[in-house]
Every structure is written in structure tokens, then in C-alpha cells.
Amino acid sequence: MNEPDDELKQPHDDEPAPANSFLDRLEAANPEKSKGETPPPSEDDASDEEEDDEDDSIDTEIDDELTEEEPLFPPLPWNPPSPPFEEEWLVPPPRPIDKSKFQGSYELDRRLQISVSLVTGAILLGVSFLPAVQAAGLYLPILTWLTWIGLGFIILAAIINLRSGGASGPYRYLRDGVPMLVRCRAVSVAREGSKENPSFRHQVWIEHPDPLTGEPIYQSIKSNSFTGQAFADVENSYRVGDYVTAVYLPEAMNESLTLYGFLGLKKDFGLIKTSERSEWFESEVNFGCAVAWIFFGAILWAIYVAFRYWPITSIGTDMLRWGLAGGLGIGLPLTIWHYFRERRKIRDRRSVRSQLGKETAPSSAASSLVGLPFSLAIWGGIAFLIGLSMNALLDRSPEVARPVIITKLIEHESHLLGLPSLRDYRIEYHFTDDATTRRLLSTPADIAKLRGGNAIALVKPGQQGWPWVNRIVPPAP
């Protein structure tokens, strides 16, 4: 990227005052929009806008619609730098592509998508052969399809590699594209989408001389769309007055024209990530993906445990003990780790914006602590269910027979889109000396042996001292 013209430096030096909210930062980063257009609504104006006759479901106007007329730029002399382009553009097309030199966001995201798909496929394929998962398929039929779902993710990884690798996507610009020297005349942010779910694009108005007449031509170029935190994690390094490289495909100049820095091919070029990815980032994401699938499996296991191994006596005090151990031992440390991670991201964002000469809105990582009660509750519940599982699975004590009366045998199958989605096999009963109705998750084979009425519950004392029913069988003849 080349130095801006002196005539255009002064407007950029007049930085806006620090913003107080995300939308204020958006308005401050969009001077062209704030001068001639209606700024994005603030939180104070939200109640007034709700009284308007406009339908809230209508998408907000995108920047091209808001800027109905081309901005008026004062004419400036065209003083191109030498050499005008980066070295990779000095080779005539088709150009060779050495991906080791292009480690921008596009290549990192491409590799991440492939690795996450492979990890997911391997996990699902591996667990599909576990006896516990095959047994659980009796109640949740989709588990019997895990082998095919896992293979599907592996095939998806191959498709992503074929479609986004080689000379496709942004790499096609690098191989066949035509570079063009342009000058940035305005830098802003375009907001689009609905009011409830807005998205944002970095926008640059460029100028280049007409090849025939020499008259300046002005065009608006937008980046890909960003939503939520993804937009806050990216900064536009283009400045007013910069001479920069635009590139287009020969067969579709108007439709394909974009800025080189918007392609995401080079690191710290054009659109810059405010938080640096560590060298272990891909491994961290894959580990997080594995943890997510394990957590999902733990939820399914928790449902099974609650119906299958729930004690027949009150365990309120023990439940609280296990819950506190899990919440304070796992939930609290994870929340603290998340807090310091957010502090690092905020610090990195401020550093990048400072290097670009931009103000940073006040922000704090304290909001990450809001989820502490939720984290304590979730991990406390998980810890208790682990204790519940240990109570039954590690119980090696003999069974004790207790007479029961069966009041209902439940066999039910639910369907979703015409396919079986959930099967329910339960025995509803109560002990002869206790009228409290209880339910036990069972199997079709065990239910087929029962006819209602009198039966025998085989009770075990439990590894944690929580008595539970192992099976219900017919009475002895």
C-alpha cells in the first residue's frame, strides 16, 4: 500500500471523538454517511422508531441505496507511485500460486473449515462403533446413522478443499486477475440487513482515470459482509488518499472489481484482524469442536441417566454437594479464563486501531462475567450427573428384591418428517409399601415379559449410597 497524497491527509487527521456504543463507533467510522445521510439508529431513538409507520421487517437500506448520488470529490492531480503494484502482480497471467506466501484470513479459514469437518467426521465415525452408542440408538434412532453422518463430514471436507483450493475463489484473482491502480477517496462502513439482524461491510470509494479520456472515474467497492463480533474483530487499514491495488477478472470487469486487500489473501493487508491468531489456533478450534461434541453427547447421556439410574430415595444434600464441586471446580475457572481471554482481545483491538490512527471506543471484559451463574449451574449439573452415573455403573453390590405393582407399560415412537426420531420404553410402577409413582427406562425385550400388576424390582444400594432400581422382572411362578 502506497502513501496518500498530501492534499488528502488533512481530513483523515481530524479523528472523531471516542464513541460510546457500537453504533456510535460505526457512525464515527462513516464520515461520508454522517454528513449526507441518516445515521444508524441509536438505542435512545429505538422507541421513537417503533412508532413510525414503517414495517420493522423491511430491511434497512444498504449504503448504495442511501447514497443515491455519487459523492462530490474535488479534482486532484494523479501522481501514481513507482512501482505501482505489489511484486506478485508483475508476473503476467496465468500466474503461479505459492500458497505458503499467502496466509491471510481466507487461507486460514479454508484450512479451518477442512480440519473441523475432518475432526467432526472422525469423532462421529469413531463413536458410532461404541456399544453404549449402539444401545442408545434404541431410543434415539438418529444414532444409528452416525456412521453415514461421519462419512458425510469427511466428504464435505474433501469438497471444501476442491472448491476453495487450487485457483478457485480469491486465488483465481491472483492467477488470472488484472491489477489496476486506484486511489481511495472515502472510507466508510455500509450497514445492511434487517434492524434486528444487521450486517456490515467496509466500503471504499475509489478513483481511477478513464483509460480513454483521462477523466476521473469514481466507484464504490465493498468488502464481504460481517455480522456481530466478526465485524468488530476486523479493521479497515485503507486510508483516504492511498494509492492501492484493485483487481478484476477479464471476462467480468464491472461485476468482479474489488480491492486486493478485500480478498483476504495476505496477512495484515487491507482488512486486518484485531486479535492475532496464535500458532495453535487451528488446534484450539479442533479441540473446542471435539469438546462441543463431547458436551452434546454428555447431554444425551444425562437424559438417559436421569430416566435410568435415578435413585429411589431423596438425595438433596448430596446433589448440592456434587453441584457445588462441579460449579466451583470447573465452571468458575472456565469463566475466569474467558474473562482474561476477552481482556487480551480488547487489548489487541486497541493496539491495531492505535496503529491505524483510530480512536477506540471504551470497552470492558467485565461483560464476560455475566454468564458466571449460568456456567456454575451447567457444570454443577454435569458434575451431579457424573456422580449419578458412578453410583450405578460402579455399583458391584448384590441386588435386593422388592415387590412392586406395575400401573402402566409405555411403548411410544415419535416421528419427524416421516422418520422415527424418538422411542420411549418405560415402566410406570410403585412399591407395595409406598404409593409414590415412579418410572424406569426399559427395553422392548424386558417390557414384553411383563403384563402389569405384580412384579419384582431388583434394587441395588449404589456406589454413592443412593439406592436405585436395576431391573423390574416378573414375579416368580
Question: What mean pLDDT comes out for the span 237-264?
Answer: 88
Cell numbers placing 27 = 457512525
> 67-71, 226-230, 261-265, 273-277 — which one is most confidently predicted on average?
261-265
Per residue in 190-235, pLDDT (tens digit) is 888 777 788 888 889 999 888 788 788 888 888 888 876 677 778 8
What is the overall mean pLDDT for the chain?
A: 77
Residue 380 has a pLDDT of 85
The whole-number pLDDT of residue 401 equals: 93
Mean pLDDT of 354-362: 64
Number of residues in the chain = 477
Asked whether the predicted pLDDT for residue 36 surpasses 50, the reply is no
Shortest CA distance to 375 belongs to which of 335, 318, 317? 335
Find the mean pLDDT for residues 286-299: 79
Q: Quote the percentage of the chain above a pLDDT of 70.
A: 78
What does the pLDDT read at residue 286? 75
- In this prediction, residue 35 carries a pLDDT of 41
Whether domain 395-473 has CATH 2.40.50: the reply is yes
Pick 87 or 401 by higher pLDDT.
Answer: 401
pLDDT (0 to 100) of residue 148? 93
Task: Return the minimum-mean-pLDDT range out of 20-34, 98-112, 295-309.
Answer: 20-34
Contacts of 298 (CB under 8 A, 6+ apart): 382, 385
The pLDDT of residue 233 is: 76
d(CA 384, CA 223) in angstroms, rounded, equals 48
Residue type, 467: P
* Percentage of the chain lying above the pLDDT 90 cut: 13
Give Rg (Cα) of the chain: 31
Question: What average pLDDT does range 462-473 have in this prediction?
Answer: 91
For the residues 395-401, what does the mean pLDDT come to?
91
- Using alpha carbons, list the distances in angstroms from residue 149 to 153, 159, 162, 170: 6, 15, 20, 30
d(CA 24, CA 42): 8
Considering only residues 336 and 49, tell me which one the structure prediction assigns the higher pLDDT.
336
Residue position matching grid coordinates 412399591: 431
Model pLDDT for residues 95-152, shown as the tens digit of each residue: 887 777 777 778 888 888 888 899 889 989 988 888 878 888 888 888 889 899 999 9
Residue 60 in grid coordinates:
434497512
What phi and psi values does residue 249 have, to the nearest 5 degrees?
-90, 135
Domain ranges of the chain: 6-97+169-266, 99-165+278-308, 312-393, 395-473
**pLDDT of the residue at 281:** 65
Say yes or no to pLDDT of 18 above 50: no
All 3 cell numbers of residue 270? Answer: 487491507
Q: What is the pLDDT of residues 408-449, one digit of tens each?
A: 998 888 888 888 888 888 999 999 988 899 999 888 888 888
Residue-level pLDDT at 460:
93
Report which of residues 143 and 367 the model is more confident about. Answer: 143
pLDDT on residue 382: 82
Min mean pLDDT across 9-13, 244-248, 252-256, 317-321 is at 9-13
Residue 384 CB coordination number (10 Å): 23
For range 72-99, the mean pLDDT: 82
Q: Which pLDDT band, with edges at 50, 70 and 90, does 13 fall under?
A: very low
pLDDT, average across residues 235-250: 88
pLDDT reading at 458 higher than 90:
yes
For the chain, the straight-line distance linking the first and the last C-alpha, in angstroms and rounded, comes to 91
Note the pLDDT of residue 355. Answer: 65
The predicted model gives 333-356 an average pLDDT of 76
Higher pLDDT, 165 or 339: 339
Q: Copy the grid coordinates of residue 83.
A: 512501482
- Predicted confidence at residue 11, as pLDDT, reads 42
Tell me if residue 117 falls in helix, strand or coil: helix
